[in-house]
Structure 1
Amino acid sequence: MPGRDPSGLELVIDPVRQEASLWRRYRFEDDLRCRETLFNRYFSLARAVAARLFRQRMTTRLDRGDFDQFACEGLLHALDRYDPLRGVPFSAYARRRIAGNVADGIATMSEIDAQLSHRHRIEQERLRSIVSEGGDAIASLSDLVVGLALGLMLEGTGLIDQAAADTRPNAYDSLAWRESQAILVGEVSVLPDKEQVVIRQHYDHGLPFTQIAELMGLSRGRVSQLHHAALGRLRKRLRARG
């Protein structure tokens, strides 16, 4: 009937109303969970803009990961600056912000940063999180080995959206390996909420801790702690399985 209020079911199945609700809760009620939902929803848009600009690049000294990182940073900025009351579709607004941030990032990136690829920076950050500060060498080495193994397994699961996945040895395609990955994904799904967010954003979207911190409204150090705690929790759960 015309003029009636939409039912709860209609709100759920109507993507326009659903997104409007997310923006209202984020912008006017400061619900950071909605910010993460919106980020995940438009992550593929950021990747698409990055891919287009990467194909048009004038230099070979930057890798695709650098473009993706700048694009994700632009998406975060767009989420913070977008005014849903102006009636401009977010996708149109975000495209300009993302493209502008990629262009700015490329223009200002130093030669040293350019030589250190995005993937290398991610791996260094991950290693610093894994190794215990102030702990004994044996414990730190154990954490490092387990952390690297878990990271490798996570990067071969459905958690990861790898446009250009690394070539894996045939042994990684074995039934035992796939079963182990499935178990690990299941254990990730029962981690505390904040640890899940860190693991999924870091290994799925490839975000560095600084961007995860911005997304979650936390310090970079806290994100590193959550990453370390999550890997420790996963290690204990997997050991308990025998």
Structure 2
Amino acid sequence: MTRPDEMLTEASGDALTVRKAIAGKQEGCVEEELWLKWIKETDYQAREQLVRLYLPYVRIVAATYYAKRLHDEIEFAEYYQLASMGMLEALDRFDPSVGVQFKTFAARRMHGAILNGLEKLTEKQQQIAARKRLQTERRESVKLPQAIEGESEGIGGRGKPGGRAPEQLLRYVADVGLGLALSWMLEGTSMIEAPETSEAIPFYRSAEVKQLRQRIASLIEGLPQQQRTVIRYHYQQEIPFEEIASMLGLTRGRIAQIHKQALMQLREALQEKPIADVVL
């Protein structure tokens, strides 16, 4: 025979189940009404309420993909934003009359939005990393030989540059400056688009800059074949020294040397016929 306390517990459990069922039914009715207002009446307030209604589900989907990530380079906020974009796209394309639940329909859109978005974000990060590596290579290739650090010992004592050290420093600055300038002047043909901020600067689109670009392109054409090839590959096609070395059957050190020689020739040619107020 069932005891009174057990009967009370069972009754309480049944009541809770009933309340949950009623709440679920009411929520379903509210959801259905919102969809009718949005589809039939184009009620944007109803659309906003639908968005708020599905955001918790968006977070769950984003968290599911974030938990499967292979690295921490992309934050959860990016996953959440991509999933939200997929949900919003699904919201504007969903047809309740088809008989499919919105969450099922939206899940496919969010899946595609997340994967496509992650691919673009990863590609962008790889390009940024590649650009940084290339810039490092350019700086390293025009560094002064050990004359300043090691051979300066025979000139004016270790750590005390003397004699030709100031001239060497000036030459170093000129070489590095030309390398950076060349990178900027040719970035319009590189793998990464120029920053939006640059496009907003009138100087960037000025006739003088276009003339300077044409002049540099002409000077590159006049370089010896090896130097011309290295400059084209490295600056216009954004190929690292190591890959250029493999393509040409040379060592990486030799490619760096050819790169430096090319910069020196370009600098000398520009100094012979300077353009505007460009100082190298």
TM-score by length of 2: 0.44
The CA deviation string for residues 78-118 of structure 1, in whole angstroms up to 9 with x for no partner, is xxxxxxxxxxxxxxxxxxxxxxxxxxxxxxxxxxxxxx811
Structure 1 unaligned residues grouped into runs of 5+: 1-53, 69-115
Match of 1:133 in 2: 145
Q: Does 1:166 align with 2:195?
A: yes
Superposed, which structure 2 residues align to 1:188-207 within 5 Å?
188-207=220-239
More helix by share: 2
Report if aligned partners of 1:130, 1:144 keep a CA contact under 8 Å in 2: yes
Q: Does 1:214 align with 2:237?
A: no
- Give the aligned length: 137
Which letter maps to 1:197?
A: T
Match of 1:121 in 2: 133
Q: Deviation of residue 161 (structure 1)?
A: 4.3
Bigger relative contact order (CA 8 A; separation at least 6)? 1
Match 1:176 to one of 172, 184, 208: 208
Report if aligned partners of 1:131, 1:141 keep a CA contact under 8 Å in 2: no
Query: How far apart are the structure 1 equivalents of 2:117 and 2:228?
Result: 35
Query: How far apart are the structure 2 equivalents of 1:176 and 1:215?
Result: 35
Match 1:233 to one of 265, 271, 274: 265
> How large is the Cα RMSD of the aligned pairs?
2.5
Superposed, which structure 2 residues align to 1:55-66 within 5 Å?
55=116, 60=121, 62-64=122-124, 66=126
Change (3 A) 1:173 1:223: same
Report if aligned partners of 1:63, 1:118 keep a CA contact under 8 Å in 2: no
Report if aligned partners of 1:63, 1:117 keep a CA contact under 8 Å in 2: no
Select the structure of larger CA radius of gyration: 2
SS of the residue aligned with 1:144? helix
Q: Deviation of residue 194 (structure 1)?
A: 0.6
Superposed, which structure 2 residues align to 1:23-62 within 5 Å?
55=116, 60=121, 62=122
Report if aligned partners of 1:195, 1:227 keep a CA contact under 8 Å in 2: yes
Match of 1:92 in 2: none
Change (3 A) 1:55 1:130: farther
SS of the residue aligned with 1:142? helix
**Deviation >6 Å, runs of 4+:** none
Q: Deviation of residue 65 (structure 1)?
A: 6.9
Which letter maps to 2:257?
A: Q
Which letter maps to 2:237?
A: H
Query: How far apart are the structure 1 equivalents of 2:217 and 2:210?
Result: 11
Structure 2 unaligned residues grouped into runs of 5+: 1-114, 148-167, 275-280
